[in-house]
Amino acid sequence: MNGSDVTISRVGKSFGSFAALDDVSLDIRKGEFFSLLGPSGCGKTTLLRILGGFEVPDEGTVAIDGVDVVGLSADKRRTNTVFQSYALFPHLSIFENVAFPLRLRKVPPKVLSSRVKDYLALVQLEAHADKMPAQLSGGQKQRVAIARALINEPSVLLLDEPLSALDAKLRQHMLVELDSIHDKVGITFIYVTHDQGEALSVSDRIAVMNQGKVLQVGPPHEIYEDPATDFVARFIGETNLFRGAVVRSEGLLATVAIPEVGEVLVTTDDPVPAGSSVSFAVRPEKIRIAAQKPAAARKDLNVVKGAVDEPIYSGFQTKFYVRTEKGVTFKVFKQHADYSDKGPEIKWRQEVFLSWSAEDGTLVEVARP
Amino acid sequence: MSDETLLAERRNGAPLRAKTGRSGLESRQRHAKARAASSFSGFAYWATIVFFFMPLVVLLVASFDKEKGGEWSGFSFIWYVKLFTESGELWRAFGNSALIAFASALTATVLGTLAAIGVTWYKFPFRGYVRTLNFLPMILPEIVIGISLLVFFAGVGLKLGLVSIYIAHATFNLPFVFLMVSARLDEFDYSVIEAARDLGASEFQTLMKVIVPMSMPGIASGFLTAVTLSLEDFVITFFVTGPGATTLPLFVYSAIRFGVSPVINALSVVMVAGTVALILPLRNYLKYIAAK
Ligand SMILES: Nc1ncnc2c1ncn2[C@@H]1O[C@H](COP(=O)(O)OP(=O)(O)O)[C@@H](O)[C@H]1O
Ligand SMILES: [Mg+2]
């Protein structure tokens, strides 16, 4: 079994006057676990349906291993889909559901039976072969759908929010399982989700979408640490994001003036000239929170004074909402790395100092003058 | 638990919660007991049973009466013997009815199923109107359908007889099958069809291997309904029948005009017995496929 490259170029699709996809181009590599991530209604399913052959794009082309597939119907493509609603055949047993593609191809009974058993084993459902879909739990149905989609040995597996109907615990478990299935079969997975946590944890690369457009494509850490737009910064994880302007620039160190915060130092990948308008972002887990003002040993340390508005304790960490003197709120995560039976040292209403170094912040949406 | 003990409990200061905290099963049992004890609902139940089955019992008794007429004149199988040996015309009518019922139900089932699938799962202009128009023959008075079919057959020059009855029955049965299959199809997710196509099925394979089997319970009940409606139809058949094409209801009607022959009683008993024998095993089968 081998994966395929999928090349999407300049694809557009409208429903009436509504543009569901607008000039989408993506290069998905052979064997990659690629996620389409975006809020509900951003066009992920539409793009996946175009890849599967259920929808025809108005513009642009889709090529699998360099061959244009836009004119091919779903049954003629080497793609298979795991539907959000599972779409199991209710009148067929689990065995027959998985055997369905092989029966269509008139595979001899002996071969068929052993193949179906192999694929049921892959998703750990050997014991349930004779049950009907209605007798299975949601997670089990999802696994049948995966086995059924894989038995044809497609070169691309399309998954449309396959875990969204499962409860949180099971979702985590299935995600790990999906990842290991991907490692075993080695084909290209294109995974649609609106859950950034899911996408970050299993993907080789992620395309973040909004309103029919692709905003950024990259590996999870790049999407997280270097968001290309304000939307991406806000959509992936939590962040503190402010609009401001660069007032001084010395090599790769820029000073950004933010009206609600003051002057902030930040290192950049490329020199950003003074006068650029930018968004400044710093993740809550990168900010230290302390009752005392940090010793000014480092000149690239940013310090902001504020008061705790709301501490939210959740065992492994506490999330603080800290209101600064100028009236903006910072989110700060403090990990509880060491055992403590005294409870939090920083309390509600307490005056605190927030600090982070210039490397911990990042500039988003830089508009040079 | 009796009311006395409950009262005693409350007097003793037992928390009220103890009373409502009884298990669901126990409280259901109490309700069941209360229902059985209520004399009115029990009366209504038995009255319904008697009301339903009394005519059948009268029929049964009358069919074994030796002499024609109201008074009991002795037990005999004479009418059953007559039914099976001297009633050639009756059996011809029965044969016609059975043939027409089977053929028209089959036709209506095939056409109605395809129509339901087409209207439910394929998009085309005026889909909503087609759906509504399909129900028209169900709502229209039979007499209107009878007249319009008669006019139609005369217009196309079709000789009235078994064929015209068959066409008429298939026509009025079609909406019932359509409705039952549609109801079944509406419960299913369109994505199973996309899944079938995705897994390599052609449109025709999808129809035969997924859509039809999935709607089988609807198709089966549509077929049975069509058989029943055809067997018992009188008004429409009366309009479109021709010389020599007598169905069972037409035959019974004409026979009754010369006074009810107890042979008809015997026939009715045989038919009731036949239906019960047919339905009991089938009922289990229907329940089984409906459960899936
Ligand atoms: N068949 C359709 N007809 C009309 N609008 C549609 C159709 N399919 C999708 N849309 C619209 O296109 C947008 C994108 O839909 P979709 O691709 O399903 O989003 P996502 O999967 O990201 O939630 C939505 O606003 C949706 O209402
Ligand atoms: Mg979707």
Give residue limits of the domains in chain B: 1-63, 78-291
Residues 6+ apart with CB under 8 A from B146: B168, B235, B236, B238, B239, B240
Return d(Cα B180, Cα B176) in angstroms, integer.
Answer: 6
Quote the pTM value: 0.80
Please, which residues 173-192 of chain B have a Cβ atom closer than 8 Å to chain A?
Answer: 188-189, 191-192
Which residue's C-alpha comes closest to atom 21 of ligand 1?
A: A45
Sign of dihedral through CA atoms A44, A45, A50, A52? positive
> One-letter amino acid identity for A22?
D
Q: What integer is the mean pLDDT of B37-63?
A: 84
A238-367: CATH topology is OB fold (Dihydrolipoamide Acetyltransferase, E2P) (2.40.50)
- Tens-place pLDDT, residues B224-244: 899 999 998 999 999 999 888
Q: Ligand 1 pocket, A56 CB below 6 A?
A: no
| Rounded CA Rg of chain A | 25
Amino acid B14: pLDDT: 40
Please, which residues 59-98 of chain A have a Cβ atom closer than 8 Å to chain B?
Answer: 73-75, 79-81, 83-85, 87-92
Using alpha carbons, list the distances in angstroms from residue B292 to A128, A160, B250, B288. 16, 26, 41, 7
Sign of dihedral through CA atoms A14, A17, A20, A26? positive
Q: Which of A53, A75, A84 sits opposite B202 (nearest CB)?
A: A75
Return d(Cα A301, Cα A339) in angstroms, integer.
Answer: 28
Could you tell me if A105 lies within 8 Å of chain B, comparing CB atoms? yes
- ipTM, interface predicted TM-score of the complex: 0.85
Could you tell me if A87 and B191 are in contact, meaning their C-beta atoms sit under 8 angstroms apart? yes
Query: Between chains, do A81 and B213 touch, taking CB under 8 Å as contact?
Result: no
> Could you tell me where in chain A the CATH 2.40.50.140 domains are found?
238-367
Return d(Cα B239, Cα A207) in angstroms, integer.
Answer: 70
Q: What would the DSSP string read from start to end of B166-203?
A: HHHHHHHHHHHHHHHHHHHHHTS-THHHHHHHHTT--H
Closest residue by Cα to residue A261 from A240, A275, A277: A240
Grade residue B277 by pLDDT with cuts at 50, 70 and 90: confident
Measured from the Cβ of residue B98, the count of other Cβ atoms closer than 10 Å reads: 15
For residue A126, give the DSSP letter. Answer: G
Amino acid B23: pLDDT: 46
Query: Between chains, do B194 and A81 touch, taking CB under 8 Å as contact?
Result: yes
A212 CA closest ligand 1 atom index: 14
Task: Give chain B's count of helices (H) and strands (E).
Answer: 17, 0
Amino acid B31: pLDDT: 53
pLDDT beyond 90 at B132: no
Using alpha carbons, list the distances in angstroms from residue A368 to A9, A147, A242, A270, B73. 29, 51, 17, 12, 114
> Could you tell me where in chain A the CATH 3.40.50.300 domains are found?
6-234
Residues 6+ apart with CB under 8 A from A172: none
Return d(Cα B155, Cα A305) in angstroms, integer.
Answer: 96
Using alpha carbons, list the distances in angstroms from residue A203 to A33, A136, A199, A226, B160. 5, 28, 6, 17, 73
User: Residue B273 class from Cβ within 10 Å (0-12 exposed, 13-18 middle, 19+ buried)?
Assistant: exposed
Return d(Cα B178, Cα B107) in angstroms, integer.
Answer: 12
If residue B29 lies in a helix (H) or strand (E), which one and from where to where?
Answer: helix B24-37
Closest residue by Cα to residue A42 from A202, A167, A209: A209
Long-range residue pairs from B48-54, CB within 8 A, at least 24 positions apart, any chain: none
Q: Which of A242-256, A273-287, B29-43, B93-107 has the lowest mean pLDDT?
A: B29-43
CA of A212 to the centre of ligand 1 (A): 10
Amino acid B24: pLDDT: 45
Query: Between chains, do B189 and A100 touch, taking CB under 8 Å as contact?
Result: no
Phi, psi of A322 (to 5 degrees): -115, 125
Q: Per DSSP, what are the bridge partners of residue A213? A: A210
Amino acid B121: pLDDT: 76
Q: Report chain B residues whose CB lies below 8 A from the CB of A90.
A: 188, 192, 214, 292
Mean pLDDT of chain B: 81
Low-confidence residues of chain A, pLDDT below 70? 1, 297
Could you tell me if B160 and B182 are in contact, meaning their C-beta atoms sit under 8 angstroms apart? no
Using alpha carbons, list the distances in angstroms from residue B287 to A58, A133, B14. 47, 18, 48
Grade residue B12 by pLDDT with cuts at 50, 70 and 90: very low
Return d(Cα B98, Cα B247) in angstroms, integer.
Answer: 9
Shortest CA gap A85–chain B (Å): 8
A55 CA closest ligand 1 atom index: 1
Q: What integer is the mean pLDDT of B165-184?
A: 92
In angstroms, how far is CA B248 from the centroid of its own chain? 18
Which residue's C-alpha comes closest to atom 6 of ligand 1?
A: A15
Amino acid B284: pLDDT: 66
Shortest CA gap A102–chain B (Å): 9
CA of A115 to the centre of ligand 1 (A): 36
Grade residue B169 by pLDDT with cuts at 50, 70 and 90: very high
Could you tell me if A327 lies within 8 Å of chain B, comparing CB atoms? no
pLDDT beyond 60 at B222: yes
Shortest CA gap B149–chain A (Å): 39
In angstroms, how far is CA A326 from the centroid of its own chain? 34
Ligand nearest to the CA of A20: 1
Which residue out of A75, A157, A159 would a mutagenesis test of the B interface target, given it has the greatest number of B Cβ atoms within 10 Å? A75
A39 CA closest ligand 1 atom index: 22
User: Residue A348 class from Cβ within 10 Å (0-12 exposed, 13-18 middle, 19+ buried)?
Assistant: exposed
Q: Which of B196, B197, B199 sits opposite A152 (nearest CB)?
A: B199
Could you tell me if B123 lies within 8 Å of chain A, comparing CB atoms? no
Q: Which residues of A3-28 are buried (b: 16+ CB within 10 A; e: fewer)?
A: bbbbbbeebebeeeeebbbbebebeb
CATH code: domain A6-234 is 3.40.50.300
CA of A46 to the centre of ligand 2 (A): 7
Return d(Cα A7, Cα A237) in angstroms, integer.
Answer: 29
Amino acid A338: pLDDT: 86
Query: Between chains, do B199 and A80 touch, taking CB under 8 Å as contact?
Result: yes
Q: Ligand 1 pocket, A20 CB below 6 A?
A: yes
Q: What angle do CA B226, B231, B236 make, to 5 degrees?
A: 90
Ligand nearest to the CA of A19: 1
Q: Which of A42-46, A184-188, B63-67, B206-210 has the lowest mean pLDDT?
A: B63-67
User: Residue A334 class from Cβ within 10 Å (0-12 exposed, 13-18 middle, 19+ buried)?
Assistant: buried
Q: What would the DSSP string read from start to end of A231-247?
A: HHHHHSS--EEEEEEEE
Amino acid B9: pLDDT: 41
Closest residue by Cα to residue A44 from A201, A213, A202, A200: A213
Return d(Cα B167, Cα B190) in angstroms, integer.
Answer: 33
Long-range residue pairs from A123-126, CB within 8 A, at least 24 positions apart, any chain: A123/A147, A123/A177, A123/A181, A125/A94
Residues 6+ apart with CB under 8 A from B253: B234
Query: Between chains, do A100 and B196 touch, taking CB under 8 Å as contact?
Result: yes
Amino acid B288: pLDDT: 55
Q: Which CATH number fits domain B78-291: 1.10.3720.10, 3.20.20.140, 3.90.870.10, 3.80.30.20?
A: 1.10.3720.10
